[in-house]
Amino acid sequence: MKNIKTIVYDYGGVISKKQNKELVHKMCKILNIPARQFFSFYTKKRKDYDSALIDAKTYWSKTIQLMDGQIELKDMDKLIEYDIKSWLDINQETIEYIKSIKDKVKLVLLSNMTFEVLEEIKNLYWIHYFDTKIFSCEEKVSKPDDKIYNICLKKVKVEPQHILFIDDSEVNLDAAQKMGINILKFKNCENMKNTIENEYVFK
């Protein structure tokens, strides 16, 4: 059993559910592309958007250029709206588990997140369960860049070997592990809970 003092949680796909498929299909309809092509275009410029190096309209303009596409201004506004809403379905099981351990271990939220999504979640009741909150849009850097993990380590003031990082992205987890942080790939809440209870002790 490993001793941990801090658990660091990702947001998308862990605290929130996976991106809402219905809203993804609506974005695909506007972009006139099949769903199977969506993520290859969606992710190419996302790092700059998550890191607030470009704004929402610039992100979508660049993404549409990659497709050699063109849309009307009103459709651009719809894309932005659907994109924000697609990340707002909260995984209540995860939230309930976090609530159950918040007095036993320090909790950190470390997320690649746009200012638009942050604006939607910043006052939700569960956000206050976290002792420290680190967002890529505020730090101007996103996972899996080493810089954001170093920011996290400086803020929590805990040795990497006493931190558990939970994310659904292999790339993000690999980067954290290289820095000596314990990692857990999120599959579902039950798996997360069982792994924590069987492999870790809160100190």
Q: What residue has token string 């809440």?
A: 189
Q: Where are the alpha helices (DSSP H) in 5-145?
A: 21-31, 35-42, 46-50, 56-66, 73-85, 92-101, 115-121, 136-139
Residues 6+ away with beta carbon under 8 Å from 79: 27, 30, 31, 60, 71
pLDDT in tens, 90-127: 999 999 999 999 999 999 999 999 999 999 999 999 99
Instruction: Kindly list the domain boundaries of the chain, sorted by start residue.
Output: 2-17+89-202, 21-85
Rounded to two decimals, what is the model's pTM? Answer: 0.95
Q: How confident is the model at residue 72 (pLDDT cuts 50, 70, 90)?
A: confident
Question: Topology of domain 2-17+89-202, per CATH?
Answer: Rossmann fold (3.40.50)
* pLDDT for residue 41 is more than 90: yes
CB 6 within 8 A of CB 202: no
Residue 47: alpha-carbon gap to chain centroid:
12
